Amino acid sequence: MPILFPTPSDDIQTWYHEAEAARQAGDTAAAQAAVERILEQDSERPGALYLRALLALDLNQFEVAQNWLERAIEVHPHADFYITLCELQIRQKAYAHALQTTRQGLALQPGSTRLRYYEAGTLFVQGFLDEAAVSNRKLLELTPDDARAHANLGVIARNLGALDEAEWHLRHALTLAPDYRGARAHLATVLLAKGQYEEAWPRFEDRWANFASTDGSHAPAARPHIPLPQWRGERPESAARAENSGAHLKRLLVIPEQGHGDSLQFVRYLPLALEHFSHVGYVCPPSLRRLYEDSLCSRWPGLVMLDDESTSIDEWDEYCPMMSLPMAFGTRLDNIPAAVPYLYADLTRTASWRARFAALPDPALPRVGVVWAGGHSGMMEDKVRSLAPEQIAPMLALPHIRWVSLQKTDDPAKRANAASQAKLTDWTDEITDFADTAALIANLDLVISVDTSVAHLAAAMGKPVWLLNRFAGCWRWLRDRDDSPWYPTAQLFTQRQRGDWDEVLTRVAAALQQRFAP
């Protein structure tokens, strides 16, 4: 029987080099084979365990990688192991576990800037804003000239309602890194929230830097590439000639972006663009098409709603993203095109809903539409803007009001519970698009909604809208006011303390009793 001698350490080092070289060359199988030779000789060698985890990560084998990382940490805790495990958990959106990992790593190496980044970031995405601010300030003590750390603290401060502090940190980030597009975009939202529109809109052109990509990666979304010049408000040269000679005016293509609420808010600019162009085409989301054709195309023949698949660039001369139109028109607080209504419900569909209301018991009851939750359930913003169905139950218990559900959702957690459902007139299963929603809203006396697309639709129709607005909410609602320069019929009920919906609903209940006193 042969005698097995221990493998010399220089052989293990050779296998390490082989594994690293193979990994760099993209030969994962050869790299794994080299690592396995090491582990056969020493199953608790932490460097080999760690390298095995990295190879699993290269193959997107997340569960396998986590097992190897946890084994490496158990054998020999090392800051790099915690960093990689945290990155893996963040990729899987396991933020609570990632936070625990960062803190274990920081206990081992308090001066690790990467772990401090991850601690602040995982606190932020879970809504622990005060703790995130403390963590980020500790990071700035380690790296006082770190532009990204200043930008991150600016975003945290904005969400805490400290706009002046947010502005300072974001401007400082741009001083340190003038080409930092993400900081410019975040500064734009701070300036918009402060009503400083003239400075804000040009910076808002970098907004894509802070959008999530649609491919599941963590890279920022790319600005749409349209092989046309962007219209930024210049008067097309052909306009002056056309006035004198009857020449053909240029044609503008407007592309959609972000959510339905953004489209509903800024679609008001499309008719105004016809003052500069002979035709304005909008690549219209299908759920909005009937509404826009009923409301806009029937009144302005130069407006055209387009399908994304059938849009030919050759038919257009210039383009403009929908949310760049305010900049193109030089929008300030004192010149917002705020005339309502600019969206309308189809009369036939409206009459159909009216007949159904008339057939209900007590048809004279005031009709109040309600939306308690937004879409995009996984987004942090949705978690703070939406109410749980249980939270609206006391409001729905108010007598002498017919509550009408306008809540559409694919998330079971956002559906009304049995007690609330019993108080609601709910025909939302029959609503197929925003044209149907508009016809239902046309029969209501009031809409109470969180910050979501239905609030924009109702306000654009000129209906009274009571917006349930989160603390330090979206830039478009500004700060410290209960009205909106964008929507004359909107009234804001804003949280006075972050997360406190009970106090908001108490004010709403008092206002309802005053408005609809029997």
- Cα-Cα-Cα-Cα dihedral sign, residues 115, 119, 124, 129: negative
305 and 373 assigned to the same domain: no
CA-to-CA separations, 267 to 42, 208, 288, 321, in angstroms, rounded = 66, 20, 11, 11
Last residue of a domain, one of 304, 335, 366: 335
In a domain, 398, yes or no: yes
Tell me the per-residue pLDDT of 306-342, one tens digit each, with 9 for 90 and over.
998 667 889 999 999 999 999 999 999 999 999 999 9
Task: Work out how many domains the chain is built from and give that number.
Answer: 3
Task: Give the domain range for residue 484.
Answer: 347-515
CB 48 within 8 A of CB 81: no
Q: Are residues 490 and 400 part of one domain?
A: yes
CB 460 within 8 Å of CB 342 = yes
423 and 330 part of one domain:
no
For the CA atoms of 358, 418, 497, 173, the dihedral, rounded to the nearest 10 degrees, stands at: -100
The answer on 159 and 96 residing in a single domain is: yes
Residue 242 belongs to a domain: no
Looking at the domain assignment, is residue 148 inside a domain? yes
Please tell me the pTM assigned to this model. 0.91
* Domain shared by 159 and 281, yes or no: no
Please indicate, yes or no, if residue 276 is contained in any of the structural domains.
Answer: yes
Section 80-84 average pLDDT: 96
Average pLDDT, the chain: 92
**17 and 138 both lie in a single domain:** yes
**Residue 49's CB: how many other CB atoms inside 10 A?**
25
Q: Which of 204, 239, 209, 243 is nearest to 223 (CA)?
A: 209
Q: Dihedral angle at the C-alpha atoms of 84, 87, 92, 94, nearest 10 degrees? A: 100
Instruction: Give per-residue burial for 246-278: e unless 16+ CB within 10 Å, then b.
Output: eeebbbbbbbbbebbbbbbbbbbbbbebbebbb
Q: Based on the fold, state whether residues 292 and 420 are members of the same structural domain.
A: no
CATH number, domain containing residue 90: 1.25.40.10
Instruction: Check whether residue 398 and residue 265 sit in a common domain.
Output: no
- What pLDDT was estimated at residue 1? 34
Q: Give the lowest-confidence range in 1-5, 43-47, 296-300, 450-454.
A: 1-5
Q: What is the pLDDT of residue 235?
A: 77
Q: What is the predicted pLDDT for the residue at 213?
A: 46
